[in-house]
Amino acid sequence: MRGNTQIGDWTFAWREESTTLSPDPDHATVWSFDLEGRPISWFERERLYKRSLASEVHGREQLRGPRRRFRVSPEDAAAMFERILHCVAAAPSASLDPALRARIDDILRWTPATLLNEKQRFDAAYRPVSILPPDQYLAVVLQATFGCSWNRCTYCDFYQDNPFRARGLPEFAVHARAVKALLGRGEALRKRIFLADGNALVLSGERLHPLFEVARREFPGRAISGFVDVLNGEHKTRDEWAALRDLGLERVHVGIETGHDPLLEFMNKPGSAAEALDLVATLKAAGLGVAVIVMCAVGGERYAAAHGSDTARLLSVMPLTAGDIVYLSPFVEHPASEYARKAREEGVRPLDDSATERQYARFRDAVREAHPGVRASRYDIREFVY
């Protein structure tokens, strides 16, 4: 089910999983809603806004110079919700097809207060979701673990106050049902399952298999993805990975960061370039898709030449195939991190924007030349919203 209807200046567009409305012929303002009627994202006044499942509103605007990102306060979010709902209530929808009219009614049953109160339902279903890769922003996130089993990389602050813990099967089943209730009909937007948190796929097959069964039972027809680090991913054999594939695992996301081993040591990142290559080869031999993540500009000026050459070489020789992804992530230094402290003490100066872009282009070109059909995409962690 999909289509468009034009009534006056208004455009009503619908798909099986969402509804989109625009009140002007130039589409300078566009709002999208899930099947529960909750706003998903909207574009107005040359700004893009996204609403998280917890009703936090994140904004982005492209001005001259760097892209500006910001979070909208709850008070301003309520005012935005009020304005959107007021406009939708004035839409000329009386003559619409009954099914589409019902979607408009679902949007109008919300109020700014009930939308903001979705945070309470989110907090009942989830612990904070730290990070996702871009292809999983619209996945059903199920938290099999919390934190990261390593949690000692000097640059990372996602899990610093979140000790690693794995959920048992009964707790995970309760969580999956709570997520299903939170999503409601909005589940239709989410075509995949992402098994969180930082490296949930480190769990043994004995523990993962029943979790996969629960996930597929509650959210049928969806493939599963998840993170694993090089150190722990190497512990699973090809047959163990293949068994997870048979249970629904589709893609494994691996944070490689760099192909230069001394830089890995500086970052306190476990594993080596050779081990990363072996892991990717094992995953591909098991019939799995892969998304590898490397950082642009990490290590600053000191490591730029070696990071650039070694990482480009590693990306070129990896056995990637069509459908795989290489994420190129601009390094974001957290001032209070151990990485920042070491960089200050050792005089490691950051790369400027132009050098960062040159490194990005080098990695992108290495992927494109060596692996036709493999996508090389920018991955800015500052734009993550779930």
Domains of the chain: 3-118 (no CATH), 126-383 (3.20.20.70)
Q: Say if residues 288 and 249 touch (Cβ distance below 8 Å).
A: yes
- Rounded to 10 deg, the angle between the 238-246 and 273-285 helix axes is 50
Alpha carbon separation from 166 to 28, 100, 370 (Å, rounded): 46, 43, 38
Question: Cα-atom radius of gyration of the chain, to the nearest Å?
Answer: 22
Contacts of 186 (CB under 8 A, 6+ apart): 34, 35, 36, 38
User: How confident is the prediction along the chain (386 residues), in pLDDT tens digits per residue?
Assistant: 688 899 999 999 999 999 999 999 888 999 999 999 999 999 988 899 999 999 999 999 865 556 788 999 999 999 999 999 999 999 998 889 899 999 999 999 999 999 999 999 999 999 999 899 999 999 999 999 998 888 889 998 887 777 889 999 999 999 999 999 999 999 999 999 999 988 899 999 999 999 999 999 999 999 999 999 999 999 999 999 999 999 999 999 999 999 999 999 999 999 999 999 999 999 999 999 999 999 999 999 999 999 999 999 999 999 999 999 999 999 999 898 999 999 999 999 999 999 999 999 999 999 999 999 999 999 999 999 99
Report phi then psi at 188, rounded to 5.
Answer: -60, -25
Residues 93, 36: Cα–Cα separation, whole Å:
18
What is the C-alpha separation between 308 and 259, in angstroms, rounded?
Answer: 8
**Dihedral, CA of residue 108, residue 31, residue 99 and residue 386, to nearest 10:** -90
